[in-house]
Amino acid sequence: MRLPRFGWLPILVGVFTFLIGFALAWFVYPWLNNSDWVIYLVGLLALLLVGVGYTLNFLIQGYTHGVKQITEETKVIIRANPAHRVSVAGPTDVKKLAETINIFAGRFQDALDNQATQIQQARADLEEEKNRLAALMSELTEGVLVCNIEGQILLYNNRAKQLLSQLPGGFWGDKIGGFVGLGRSIFGLIDRNAITQALEDLAYRREKQRSPLVSQFVTTATNGQLIRTRVAPIPAQQHGINGFVLTLEDVTQQSQSSRRRDILLQALTEGVRSSLANIRSAIETIEQFPQMDAAKVGQLRKVIYDEALTLSARLNQITAEYDTDLRADWQLEEMLGSDLLWAIQRRFEDKLEVSTAVAEPEENLWLRVDSYSIVQAATYIMRRLKVDFGVTEVKLRLKQTGQLAAFDLVWDNGKVDMDTLWSWQNQSLTTDGGGSALTLREVAERHGGEVWCQADKTINIAYFRLLLPTTQAKPIRSVQIVQSSRPEYYDFDLFHQAGQTPEMDQRPLSELTYTVFDTETTGLNPSEGDEIISISAVRVVNGRLLRQDIFDQLVDPKRPLSLASTEIHGISSEMLAGQPTIEQVLPLFYRFTEGTVLVGHNAAFDMRLLQIKESKTGIKFTNPVLDTLLLSAVLYPNQKDHSLETIAQRLGVNIIGRHTSLGDAILTGEIYLKLVSLLAEQSILTLQDARSAAQKTYLARLNY
Partner 1 sequence: MTKKILIVDDEANIVISLEFLIRQAGYEFRVAHNGKEALERVATFEPDLILLDVMMPQINGFEVCRRIRENPDWQDVKIIMLTAKGREVEVTKGLALGANSYVIKPFSTKELMAEVKRVLGEE
Size of the site for partner 1 (CB under 8 A): 23
What is the rounded CA–CA span in Å between residue 462 and residue 466? 13
349 conformational bin, left if phi > 0, alpha if psi -120 to 50, beta if neither: alpha
- Contact pattern from residue 371 through residue 410 relative to partner 1, giving x for each residue in contact according to CB under 8 A and a dash for the rest: ------------------------------xxxx------
Min dist CB 422 to partner 1, Å, is 6
**Within its chain, how far is the Cα of 450 from the centroid?**
40
Q: Which of 36, 128, 270, 323 binds partner 1 (CB under 8 A)?
A: 323
The window from 26-34, 285-293, 417-425, 545-553 that contacts partner 1 (CB under 8 A) reads 417-425
Half-sphere exposure of 93 (CA within 13 A, CB side): 12
C-beta closer to partner 1: residue 316 or 649: 316
- Region of 151-159, 334-342, 418-426, 694-702 interacting with partner 1 (CB under 8 A): 418-426
Q: Which is nearer to partner 1, 465 or 569 (CB)?
A: 465
Cα distance from N-terminal residue to C-terminal residue, the chain? 72
316 binds partner 1 (CB under 8 A): yes
**CA 537 to CA 588: how far, in whole Å?**
12
Q: Please name the residues in contact with 693: beta carbons below 8 A apart, sequence gap of 6 or more.
A: 631, 634, 679, 684
Decide if residue 567 touches partner 1 (CB under 8 A).
no
- Show contacts with partner 1 in window 40-79 (CB under 8 A): none
Does 583 bind partner 1 (CB under 8 A)? Our answer is no
Is 659 one of the annotated active-site residues of the chain?
yes
- Among the listed ranges 162-170, 309-317, 517-525, 552-560, the one in contact with partner 1 (CB under 8 A) is 309-317
**CA 353 to the chain's CA centroid:** 36
List the beta bridge partners of residue 408: 397, 465
The answer to whether 14 contacts partner 1 (rule: CB under 8 A) is no
Q: Is 127 in the site for partner 1 (CB under 8 A)?
A: no
CB distance 334 to 366 below 8 Å:
yes
Binder of partner 1 out of 101, 147, 248, 311 (CB under 8 A): 311
Of the pair 155, 304, the CB lying nearest partner 1 is at 304
- Distance of CA 533 to CAs 561, 576, 603, Å? 9, 8, 17
Neighbours of 558 (CB within 10 A): 10
The 179-208 site mask, x for binding partner 1 (CB under 8 A), equals: ------------------------------
CB of 288 to partner 1, least distance (A): 23
The active-site residue, picked from 239, 601, 642, 659, is: 659
Beta bridge partners of 230: 216, 247
Using alpha carbons, list the distances in angstroms from residue 422 to 412, 414, 419, 463, 606: 17, 16, 5, 11, 67
Interface residue with partner 1 among 3, 214, 308, 541 (CB under 8 A) is: 308
Task: Give long-range contacts, CB 8 A cutoff, 24+ apart: 159-166.
Answer: 159/248, 160/246, 160/248, 161/548, 163/221, 163/225, 163/227, 163/248, 163/249, 163/250, 164/189, 164/190, 164/221, 164/227, 164/248, 166/222, 166/223, 166/588
| Shortest reach from residue 463's CB to partner 1, in Å | 11
337 touches partner 1 (CB under 8 A)? no
Q: Determine which residue in the list 15, 122, 315, 656 makes contact with partner 1, applying CB under 8 A.
A: 315
Which is closer to partner 1, CB of 311 or CB of 629? 311
Closer residue to partner 1 in complex, CB, 308/504:
308
Among 483, 649, 448, smallest CA distance to 568 is for 483
Return all residues near 439 (Cβ < 8 A) that are at least 6 apart. 425, 426, 427, 428, 429
The 273-302 site mask, x for binding partner 1 (CB under 8 A), equals ------------------------------
**Least distance from partner 1 to the Cβ atom of residue 450, Å:** 4
CB of 311 to partner 1, least distance (A): 8
Helix (H, G, I), strand (E, B), or coil: what is residue 573?
A: helix
Pick the closer one to partner 1 by CB: 274 or 572. Answer: 274
Q: How many CA atoms lie within 13 A of 95 on its CB side?
A: 8
**Before 212, cis peptide (omega within 30)?**
yes
DSSP, collapsed to helix, strand or coil, labels residue 223 as coil
d(CA 367, CA 410): 20
Q: What are phi and psi of 488, to 5 degrees?
A: -65, 145
Per CB under 8 A, which of residues 442..481 are in contact with partner 1? 448-450, 452, 454-455, 465, 467, 469
Provide the minimum distance between the beta carbon of 395 and partner 1 in the complex, in angstroms, as a whole number.
18
Interface contacts to partner 1, rule CB under 8 A: 308, 311-312, 315-316, 319, 323, 401-404, 418-419, 422, 448-450, 452, 454-455, 465, 467, 469
List active site positions: 659
